[in-house]
Structure 1
Amino acid sequence: MMILSRNCSKSSLTRSIHRLLITILFASFLMLLIKLMNVNEQTHDVSLLAYKESSSIVDVGNNHDNNNNNNREKSVNRFEKLCLIKFPSPVQQHAHNSTWISITLPKYRIYSFSAYYLAGKNNGDVIMYVISNTTALLVPFCLLWDADEEHHVVRAFAEMNKNSFNNLFREYRITCLSSRISQLKEPRYVSLIENKCKQPNHVVDVVAIDNQQKQISTLEPHNQQQLWWHKSPKVNFSICVSPLNQHYDKYERMLEWIELNRMFGVEYFFFYNFSTGSKVEKVLNYYVNENLATIIQWKLPVKVDERTGASDVHYYGQLTALNDCLMRSRLTSHFVVNIDLDEFIVPTKDRTFYQLFTDVFKDKNVNISNVPPVIMSIRNTFFRVQQCNNTNNLFTNCSTKREDLIFRHGSRSKWMASSEVMDLIGVHGPQLKNIRQNRVIKLEPDVALVFHYHEHEEWIHPMVAELRMQTFSIELASRLQKMLTQVT
């Protein structure tokens, strides 16, 4: 009996302990639940406050009717007045006068060269081209200023150019989503900020481009001495040239290159100048004075060793220059050609780019200005640069052998494109994020080919004769001789 009584006592004690533990656990659970409810209420209050504060921030994912937009704009103005953001003074700014603007955010160093507002029938976005010392640039907001120095805060997102390679600085396109704000006044400046009430210490001038009329805004530019859009926007073809570097001074080759492209139908040239020799500088100034070219001084804000070509940004900021040029060309031409000074896009059967277009579109009376947005990819082949003594001084006339290898599209290929078709471009083709595949036309060698003149020490592939350039040599030699007498 004694043993049974002890067992019963132990069993009763165990049950009591279990009940106590269950009670403690239940009480703890209730306390945790109460805390969570309080946190949710606080979060709800904070969310409401954040929503009210972010009424000036664009909601990309939703469409609203006009009444909601009007209410939002009223909230925007109320909120922005509370922020007490003032236009920076003294201000660091530029009017596309070849100045890089330094922008410091908590995690990044950013340098901006240009900004554009894609105007039209409806509001557009503001596009900026920048370089930054990160592989994952996050810029939360853009601060847009109008001519009256009133401002709007809009969301921003950055896209890294896929061809940025592994340099310290990568090349980006920043989109300020101003198109989501109704009745937005035309932005004149833009600042990048990390929070909505951050006072910026910089602004970048914004150039407005009307996609419908191919002209700049009717508003007067800030500095009339620094205009580069003086050319009437009527030309069919212009060329964007990668940054000239290492004091490039092969002036005869440059003259031959320019004049042959003019024979092909190119009417305007954009040159980005990191460094050139005195003779090439004289050539460039001649074409500028003839209203046939623009020189953009390209003084990079990062480390560059011209002796070796090593740089903190890939090949002298080539990708940023090309994308900036694409945007500039919207003001001057219908189509843009991307080649370097040792390359030519040569029609195989035709003599001009216009004739090439008539063949591609099967229309002898094609109007370049009305051609649907399109990108033409042209394949590349290498020529052996040879030295020869000829009376006409044409290096293209001497180099009559090329490799039998013709590279595939996307590998060393170059392009011709509508100035309005692309957002981001690379050296050898566009980034097709916003482009339907049927807008890309891949031209085969029986239509056109990139003649790439390269001074290899060793040639792996067999060489074949290529005499296409001979058909242009007489006229080209005459033009070159005339230019040499005028320029030198």
Structure 2
Amino acid sequence: MGSASGGKRRYQSFRNKQRANMSFFIVVIFFAVFGIIVFTEIFLIDERGRGAGVLVRHGSIPYHHRTQDKPDYEDALQSDDYISIRMGGGGGGLDDTVGALLMGRPVIPAAPVFQDNGQDHNINEAQLPPFPANFTPVDGAWQIVNGTRYKFYVFSAFLDARKGQRAIRIIGATKTRGADRVWCRFWYKTSEANSTSYASKTVPAKLKVIRENWNLKYSACFILCGLGNDQIVPTAVSVVAKVKQAPSNILSVINNYNETKPASKMGVCVKALHFDYNKALQLLEFIELHRILGVDHFTFYNHTVGAQVACLLEHYINKGLVTLLPWQLNMVSQKEIRTEGLFAALNDCLYRSMYKYSHVILIDLDEFIIPKHNDTLPQLLSWLSTKVNTEATGSFSFQNAFFYLQWGDDDWVYTSDDPIATSLLTLKKTRRKTKLHPHKQRSKYICRPEFVVETGNHFIWEFIPGHNTFNVPADAAILHHYRICEFGGDDCIQTASTVDVTTFKYRDRLVEAVGSLYEQYRKVCSLPDLPPPPRRENYKLLNFFSNR
């Protein structure tokens, strides 16, 4: 008996040692794997001494703002953080070269030296590929960056000279993590013997991945190309993977800044139209109601639209009310990049609108910011400025209210004989969810572009230092969002609801505007006949089934 008990104790002791050894082995394996990850992150992904530029990656968890992050203007453009540049060759910089060319004097190009973590990169511009003879600088079209390991595209370039820090800010799309290092080649237009030529200057780029990337393989990004305080603003810019590689893209540099003519108008930005979008009446309702609300201009991005919408947009473009930019990004939507690269579109529109419009609304086609008491959005903002100090306000956030399309139409629809009036969503759908989403969840905003660094879908990710968001109270204005149940099915209409007829104050003006345009372009744009209003004798039956 004692022998059996002793054997059992020895066996138990042996098993305990086995478990202890196994635990130790697991801990060793864990730290080994962790060490490999850290080693890879430091030496293979964020290696500073290799290549041309510097890579900055922000947290990729969506809808999480890390307030401790250094602002873009301190993190991306400060001279002590940016790659320092000094001019070689006896002090003759490229600005002198450009100036001499503009004056018609022959010059010998200087060789600037770039310091990258103690390593000098001697670059003689005369030895680099010249401006491509068959290229013309383009604004607002996706162009490829050749020679990179992963997909890399650029769309537009803007002078960003706020807070005394100057850079060319390029809107692009590339790998979310471990993106390729790239260079910026500035192009300066010169004239020689009745022909146009270009002098160049090459600087290292700094890449900043846009935060809202949903952890997908590719993300919208900023490529920042530093400009000296006295450096001439280039005519165009190219992004190259290697300085001695011929450029495959030429972007016109947009400079909207005009200190003598401050902006005072309001613009709207809408993400890419896709899936052959062809809802002609919805487009007319969106544009005309926003015009009533005080909007002066609309910027759209065209991935794919149908013939009727394309026709209507063409007429708005001819009137100067719409800018339509092509949007053919060679990345798989939702698998490689979020929704046709929407965050590139939103930030492009932000910088494109800067100094042209005092306020910009970034919104979708089924959304409208509706004031409760004021008639227009400029009047609302003016009224808010009398209640609170909005001088430092960079954006005004509005809470989201769902007007689910599965809810029945308003009663007045069954008493109207006007097919236009009874077809407009903002007039026939008056029942909304009682509970509003909190700010930053489904909310939309009106921003002041010159105070914003990086914008997102539902809120501003980063402001110029000293600016912030003002959360507009729901009793002043809310976001009307007309859509089906967000999670599929019809369960959403079981939630608590209320009737909101705030848009009725626009009914006469909206019906007249949309009706007039629909009739004007019915034949030209092959617009379909609208369904007749619901028959009055069926009103009670229809109302019973739609609200049960």
The residue identity in structure 2 corresponding to 1:468 is: T
- Specify which of 332, 354, 358 is matched with residue 334 of structure 1: 358
- Specify which of 408, 423, 432 is matched with residue 453 of structure 2: 423
Cα–Cα, structure 1 residues 93 and 122, in superposed 2: closer, same or farther, change >3 Å?
farther
Cα–Cα, structure 1 residues 109 and 92, in superposed 2: closer, same or farther, change >3 Å?
farther
Instruction: Note the C-alpha offset of 1:399.
Output: 0.6
- Specify which of 375, 387, 396 is matched with residue 376 of structure 1: 396
Matched with 1:348 is 372
Q: RMSD across aligned C-alpha pairs, in angstroms?
A: 3.1
The residue identity in structure 1 corresponding to 2:276 is: H
Bigger-Rg structure (1/2): 1
In the TM superposition, what whole-angstrom CA distance separates every residue of 1:151-187 from its partner, at most 9, and x where no partner exists?
2232322121121113332111111111xx2431221
- Specify which of 150, 163, 167 is matched with residue 125 of structure 1: 167
Residue 69 of structure 1 contacts residue 182 of structure 1 at CA under 8 Å; is this kept in 2? no
Matched with 1:107 is 149
Matched with 1:23 is none
Quick one: distance in 1 between partners of 2:178 and 2:321?
A: 39
Aligned ranges 1:464-483 → 2 under 5 Å: 464-483=498-517
The residue identity in structure 2 corresponding to 1:382 is: F
Residue 403 of structure 2 contacts residue 432 of structure 2 at CA under 8 Å; is this kept in 1? yes
Quick one: distance in 1 between partners of 2:217 and 2:370?
A: 36
Instruction: Note the C-alpha offset of 1:208.
Output: 3.1
Cα–Cα, structure 1 residues 70 and 322, in superposed 2: closer, same or farther, change >3 Å?
same
Instruction: Note the C-alpha offset of 1:443.
Output: 0.7
The residue identity in structure 2 corresponding to 1:190 is: V
Quick one: distance in 2 between partners of 1:267 and 1:204?
A: 30
Matched with 1:260 is 289
Quick one: distance in 1 between partners of 2:214 and 2:78?
A: 33
Q: Residue 144 in 1 paired to residue 198 in 2?
A: no
Aligned ranges 1:27-38 → 2 under 5 Å: none
Matched with 1:41 is none
Residue 129 of structure 1 contacts residue 173 of structure 1 at CA under 8 Å; is this kept in 2? yes
The residue identity in structure 2 corresponding to 1:208 is: I
Matched with 2:474 is 445
**Runs of 5+ unmatched residues, structure 1:** 1-46, 51-57, 216-232, 305-309
Matched with 1:225 is none
Residue 274 of structure 1 contacts residue 297 of structure 1 at CA under 8 Å; is this kept in 2? yes
TM normalised by structure 2 equals 0.66
- Specify which of 338, 352, 362 is matched with residue 314 of structure 1: 338
**Runs of 5+ unmatched residues, structure 2:** 1-48, 53-76, 95-109, 113-122, 191-197, 523-548
Residue 369 of structure 2 contacts residue 398 of structure 2 at CA under 8 Å; is this kept in 1? yes
Matched with 1:6 is none
- Specify which of 474, 484, 491 is matched with residue 458 of structure 1: 491
In the TM superposition, what whole-angstrom CA distance separates every residue of 1:362-387 from its partner, at most 9, and x where no partner exists?
089x9xxx965621111111002245
In the TM superposition, what whole-angstrom CA distance separates every residue of 1:308-356 from its partner, at most 9, and x where no partner exists?
xx55321111111111111111253111011111000011111111211
Cα–Cα, structure 1 residues 344 and 182, in superposed 2: closer, same or farther, change >3 Å?
closer
Q: Residue 74 in 1 paired to residue 92 in 2?
A: yes
Quick one: distance in 1 between partners of 2:384 and 2:463?
A: 24
Instruction: Note the C-alpha offset of 1:455.
Output: 1.2
In the TM superposition, what whole-angstrom CA distance separates every residue of 1:53-109 from its partner, at most 9, and x where no partner exists?
xxxxx992189xxxx88998526723443761132435555422x531110344332
Cα–Cα, structure 1 residues 406 and 114, in superposed 2: closer, same or farther, change >3 Å?
same
Aligned ranges 1:25-424 → 2 under 5 Å: 60-61=79-80, 74=92, 77-79=110-112, 80-81=123-124, 84-90=127-133, 94-96=137-139, 98-118=140-160, 124-148=166-190, 149-178=198-227, 181-194=228-241, 197-213=243-259, 236-303=265-332, 310-330=334-354, 332-362=356-386, 374-385=394-405, 386=408, 390=416, 391=418, 392-393=421-422, 394-424=424-454
Cα–Cα, structure 1 residues 189 and 84, in superposed 2: closer, same or farther, change >3 Å?
same
Cα–Cα, structure 1 residues 82 and 321, in superposed 2: closer, same or farther, change >3 Å?
closer
Quick one: distance in 2 between partners of 1:452 and 1:246?
A: 20
